[in-house]
Structure 1
Amino acid sequence: MTTPAIEPFRIDIPAADVADLRARLAAVRWPDELEDAGWSYGIPARRLRPLVERWRTGFDWQQQQADLNRLDQFVTEIDGRRLHFNHLRSPRPDAMPLVLVHGWPFADFRSLIEPLTEPASSDDVPGLPFDLVIPTLPGFGFSGPTHRAGESDTSRSAELIKELMARLGYQAYGVHGGDAGGFVATQLGRIDAEHVVGVHLNGPITIPSPGEDASGFDERDRRMLASLQDWSRRDTSSYAAVHSTRPQTLAYALNDSPVGQLAWVADVVNSYAHEPIDDDALLTQVSIGWFTGTIGSSFLLYKESGQWGAQSERSGVPTAVAIFPGDSTIRAIAERRHNLVRWTIHDRGGHFPALEAPDLLIKDLREFFGGLR
């Protein structure tokens, strides 16, 4: 059987699609809003209206598209699934291959690319160079929507990335992931331990399995456990409840309304980010979801992935965990599920460190993988 080709890819959104988006933004029918409700009922108009106006009149999609097209990107087919990815080689011959795996809703690692592929050495942080492979998970963006149940399972995504790295000819590589991407990264370490030299995670999700022993937790872990147990009762968890139970119903609304799609994503970002995220970075990601029609299929990993609270086989690959403000990772559980060799707590950043504190994430990646050379 012939292996499907890896083909160069360029983003080329038709001008008619951009015009249609702007027309829809201009025709929005705004709902009523309670006085002085703030964020307690969801994203307020005082935040959303300026974002919508920026998207309609000030946001330059053509410039963003040009910036994205400066980065080498490709598509291939693996087991009948289209997979889009960036492949960015360092000019240095000693570069380590590194896979960066995104979560929901962000797939924006642009701030990491130049520092990681062409690092400048310093006295305290040696400039380990990387060849970067940045896949777009099934159901997201330019990988296109999924069409069969189970294609968005994070374990399935790990299998696709394993095959991709083999096709690219890499014999040893590292993996980084956050949010749902952390499940993909960890699973890659399990199924491709022969080639994965290390796994780096930011704020991995450590939901205890039913009946899991918590008697040995220290004070911090007990606080994190209480936070996780309370999470399902918080209003900030409502998005995940809908994604994991009725994703198709929500998809009809958000695939038809760009304002609805923006409101949904921006509300989640506000709930979990601890540092300001650039509005144009946010609008770029929402634009990709809009133009590709993948907002609905991007929800499916919540319903189809079985790892959220399951007790998984322990990964034996050396694993580093970076904790940013707002993370509720329980170290004792992380140690049970991973070969934990590094644990770093940062005092700034948040759930989206590539956009909130890229300098800290870059330093953490360099130090961890530099120690594995």
Structure 2
Amino acid sequence: MRQLAKFSVIAVVISTISGCGWLWGEKGYFRDRSNDYLDAKQESMITIPANLKKDTRPFDPLYPIPNNIPNPTVTKNYEVPRPLPLQAVNTSGPFSLQRNQGNQWIIAQQMVTPAYEQALQYFRQAGFRIDTARPVTGEFTTSWTKTSVLTNMLNSRLLAMDSSLANQELRIRVRVDPGARANTSELYTLVMVRPEGSAVESDWPSKSQNSVVEAILLDELMANMSNSQASENVVSLSDTQQQSVAAKKKALFNRDTQGVPFLVMNGDLDLVWSQVEQAINKANIKIDDMDRSERVYYINLSEKADGSSKPGFFTRLFTSEARREANAERYIIKVIPIDNAMSVKVDGIGNDTVVSPEKAESILRMLQDNMN
């Protein structure tokens, strides 16, 4: 029986070793697939029915085959050429104009929706009449427009570069696609040109019929978007400053009818309790103890929270505990609900300890200055 078991194990090992080819070999299940793309075949473009073309964006090949490869049936030793670097123009700021092999577009450091809205707003302000707008696909087109109805700045710039545009009409298609990086977008324009008064309607070309007009429109669009972004940053900075000022005033100093100082703070107990604790720590005041149920903090002004005021070895050796206790400045900070707000007061420890209004004001001012 033992011999049979031994031979069975040997047979299983031999069969496993000899059968590894179906797992790891060239025809195995776990074979190397890194070069499979070399055997891939080029398929034809997807054909979209005519009745659906108006609701879809044009299909552009994601991985086009370079034109400098005349023979697609290459060997597996073929070395893929490195792509040419993009020619970046005005890459500073949140928007940059890119040019590559006759194509030009804008890269925006923002998502598709805000970029689409800014582009749509610019073309309306420039004098173009929007023909169709498809926010879902990120596209909009203009109707045929004379350069004379555009803004004076844009019209003058177009005519300065090409005087023949005075007798022509323009039609623009703008497409906003998601960028290669997260939270970025790419804006493309397509320009069609026809003589003024012509009724000829044609399909959109693969490239702009006037590259000069396209370059000017992209440059003006990028400048407009940059200015809008700068204005939003100024407004945002102003709002932030106002919020900062409001944050400093969220703890208001006041006095009662007897002249006792206190702070008034908005918020519930949890929020105010946390803010008071943070203010005490920021003021570098040591908290000896706290009682959340009684809403009180026990502080010691004679010691720092970071331990920098801790006496040295010889001081502790030659100074009695009673003397150190006599030098301590201990107070109670109370959080008291009042109407729809909270008040913060300073009391002494013990019923017979009275805190002077000046001392209480000094402590409360320290807390107020360290409120976020």
TM-score category of the 2 structures, normalised to the smaller one = under 0.3
Higher relative contact order (CA 8 A, sep 6+): 1
More helix by share: 1
More strand by share: 2
Q: TM-score, normalised by structure 2?
A: 0.19
Larger Rg: 2
